[in-house]
Structure 1
């Protein structure tokens, strides 16, 4: 059921916060998968459930945009934020899926560091959305700056991880699997930065 405000409009801010909260839970679960004692792929079903929940929230936002005439922000901004947050969740689910179908039964230091980057990035997205709902636009900048910095850390981790693969090559299949994981994780940190870029644009429009 769509949440409504006192004006009987769809509460898009609440939906975006719900989406960000769900994505943060996904990031925390992904971190557990990387840090845990059991194979990462055993977390796949739990993460897929969160991914489906995220899809449902995004669908509610789509539906809401088609229902109401007045929106608190430009429709395009609301839609882009919803889609990009969903991309972050999709990226984590797709990464765990690779552990499953490529039969990777371990994580390493690079993957663990990536998981920390994702948790921090998703937390900043959530805090920024909460500020957005209160129209505290200038305070959002601190979080977008941090997300951009974390995306740079993701770039660094991917470069170092791939450099290690080529510096100390092992079995080609093993190396291919690692490269796949690193690149998918870096794309997921890119999706976090995409959210930050939209937020920065919103700040310029409304601050």
Structure 2
């Protein structure tokens, strides 16, 4: 049943849900960084599964709100695009955590924490960008978009350094494969944050 508040309200529930989604993504990135800082114990995967379940629950709520709401604060297509982009962040992070737990015996000598810290930083910027959607202020959103792009550029630079190490001839085939596999997953997670930030920036660009 539709209510007048649902039909003609300001649509703040969409901003609330999108912020909740961004926080879930950041929590997942934070959990990964914490896990990779402490490598001497068996990885716990519950935090990643919980974050993804929260993300899925929020996505379903947004989909239902789009059905129930006559008016939305921003275009429906933009809400759907941002929801999808945010959902992909913890999904990619959980992929890393699951595989890391299976290959840990081969990865103990590799320090993934610095890259995970960059991912956590990128996810934190995304949270700030989503919070700014309510205000539709272009300048602060542009500053955050530039910060996110800078993080992505630094991640790309580190990947080039990694490839130099991989093809230096000093590593065995298994080490080469694992380094490439896991660092590319982390890089893709940062890319997912960047994609979500671009959607948020574009929304403000259209509506400011």
Please give the TM-score of this superposition, normalised by the length of structure 2: 0.88
The alignment partner of 1:135 has SS state of coil
Contact 1:169 1:175 in 2 (8 A): no
Which residue of structure 1 lines up, in the alignment, with residue 37 of structure 2?
Answer: 35
Matches within 5 A, 1:4-153: 7=9, 9=11, 11-39=13-41, 42-103=43-104, 104-106=106-108, 108-109=110-111, 111-153=112-154
- CA–CA separation in structure 1 for the residues paired with 2:147 and 2:89: 16
What is the CA-CA distance between 1:102 and the residue it aligns to?
A: 3.1
The alignment partner of 1:133 has SS state of coil
What is the CA-CA distance between 1:8 and the residue it aligns to?
A: 8.0
- CA–CA separation in structure 1 for the residues paired with 2:138 and 2:168: 46
What is the CA-CA distance between 1:145 and the residue it aligns to?
A: 0.8
- CA–CA separation in structure 2 for the residues paired with 1:43 and 1:175: 26
Which structure has the larger Rg over C-alpha atoms? 2
What is the CA-CA distance between 1:33 and the residue it aligns to?
A: 1.1
Contact 2:33 2:117 in 1 (8 A): yes
Summarize the Cα distance change of 1:105–1:183 in structure 2 as closer, same or farther, 3 Å threshold. Answer: closer
Which residue of structure 2 lines up, in the alignment, with residue 188 of structure 1?
Answer: 189
Summarize the Cα distance change of 1:37–1:180 in structure 2 as closer, same or farther, 3 Å threshold. Answer: closer
Contiguous gaps of at least 5 residues in structure 1: none
Q: 151-160 or 176-185: which moved more?
A: 151-160
What is the CA-CA distance between 1:168 and the residue it aligns to?
A: 4.1
Contact 2:137 2:204 in 1 (8 A): no
- CA–CA separation in structure 2 for the residues paired with 1:177 and 1:108: 10
What is the CA-CA distance between 1:157 and the residue it aligns to?
A: 1.9
Contact 1:31 1:115 in 2 (8 A): yes
Please give the TM-score of this superposition, normalised by the length of structure 1: 0.88
- CA–CA separation in structure 1 for the residues paired with 2:167 and 2:45: 29
- CA–CA separation in structure 1 for the residues paired with 2:197 and 2:24: 17
- CA–CA separation in structure 2 for the residues paired with 1:127 and 1:138: 13
